[in-house]
Amino acid sequence: MHQHLLQRVAAGEPSAIEECIDRYGGLVWSLARKLVGAHADAEDAVQVVFIDLWKSAARFDPNVASETTFVALIARRRLIDYKRRRLRQQDQVQSLPIDDVDVVSREQRSDAGELVEEASRAAAAIRELRPEQQEILRLSVYDGWSHQRIADHLQVPLGTVKTHVRRGLIHLRNLLKGGSTKLVDQEARS
Amino acid sequence: MIEPSRGDERLIQLLADKATEGLSLSQQNELDHLLAVHPEVGPEELELAAAAATLAMIDVSIQRLPSRTRVELLSNATRFFSMNGRAPARPNVQTRWNDQDYS
């Protein structure tokens, strides 16, 4: 029976651990550079993410999400925590543009197939959102901006930003889950 | 279909905040309490949505992991799995890429 990489990691299979680092290292590193910023901080953060991945590997359920999405979830969670801690420590995080460093083309990625499929499904869901929702979701989810910063930047109330983020995520979640149970935004119904 | 009552909006907002900004300890405690009241709502559902959105947005800009970071990851993995009583990884310290981006 086919075993997913994370299931092999959970079993402590030596080759799976190295394979996992090689398959997802670039993704985690890219997210760390985007969300945490400075090179040294990103290096620390990547170590934190992978330790949590080793701990969480046994929780991976292919019926709930793909492996790539699960890794991205763990990475985002740890990177957000890391960034919050750093912000408390230094009250400021420097953000570097992502396109000033070595970029691996889609064809070079060993996991290109899964990433592309995942990305295209999510991208299709995002395209269904209104343009202002797309922008706010991008600033929040991808650029890692705080809701307050987005509100200040776009000169809209904080509550509006929170509503767009919430509705955008619910919309994505419902589309990605297909015909299963749906979350409903209370305000959207009224 | 999961339709939270108006009072449960707070649960959805906390899930969205967790997925995007993270939560303070008191907010996390509040979320844990609300999730216990609403077992029908998955604790990671909006985090999964945020992760999928990230994959869509990052699609064309995956960077290489620096070789030194990779070596350190393998070393830490060896320690982690040894300490947890599972088979340790055997680090292959040979760099896969001759990237010069870590100097």
Compute the distance between CA of residue A143 and CA of residue B59 in angstroms, rounded to an integer: 14
Chain B residues in contact with A146 (beta carbon < 8 A) = 21
Give B-chain residues touching A172 at CB under 8 angstroms.
Answer: 49-50, 52-53
Residue B94 pLDDT exceeds 60? no
- Looking at residue B42, its pLDDT comes to 87
Mean pLDDT of chain B: 77
Beta strands in chain A (DSSP E): none
Identify the three-state secondary structure at position B2.
strand
Give the H or E element holding residue A57. Answer: none
Residue A2 phi, psi (nearest 5)? -65, 130
Task: Give yes or no for B52 touching A (CB within 8 A).
Answer: yes
Average pLDDT over residues B62-79: 89
pLDDT tens per residue, range A54-89: 999 999 998 888 899 999 999 999 999 998 888 777
**Nearest Cα to Cα of residue A68 among B59, B55, B50, B18:** B55
Please tell me the pTM assigned to this model. Answer: 0.77
A37-41, A77-81, A99-103, B24-28: least confident range: A99-103
Does residue A101 surpass a pLDDT of 50?
A: no
CB-closest option in A17, A21, A103 to B63:
A103
* pLDDT computed for residue B102 by the predictor: 29
State how far the Cα of A25 lies from the Cα of B20, in Å rounded to an integer.
22
DSSP A155: T
Q: Tell me if A27 sits within 8 A of B52, measured CB to CB.
A: no
Kindly determine whether residue A104 and residue B62, on different chains, have CB atoms separated by under 8 Å. yes
Which of A173, A177, A187 to mutate: most B Cβ within 10 Å? A173
Q: How far is A12 from chain B (nearest CA, A)?
A: 5
| pLDDT of B64 strictly over 50 | yes
Chain B, nearest residue to A139 by Cα:
B20
Check residue B50 and give its pLDDT.
93
Residue A85 one-letter amino acid = R
Phi, psi of A157 (to 5 degrees): -60, 150
Position B30 scores a pLDDT of 95
* pLDDT of amino acid A84: 86
- Partner-chain contact A33 B63, CB within 8 Å: yes
pLDDT in tens, A111-170: 445 555 666 778 888 888 889 999 999 999 988 899 999 999 999 999 999 999 999 999
A27 token code pair: 């993704």
CA B93 – CA B91 distance, rounded (Å) = 6
What would the pLDDT profile of B2-48 be if each residue is shown by its tens digit?
555 544 789 999 999 999 999 999 999 999 999 999 888 889 989 99
Query: What is the model's pLDDT at position B91?
Result: 43
Residue B47 near chain A (CB below 8 Å): yes
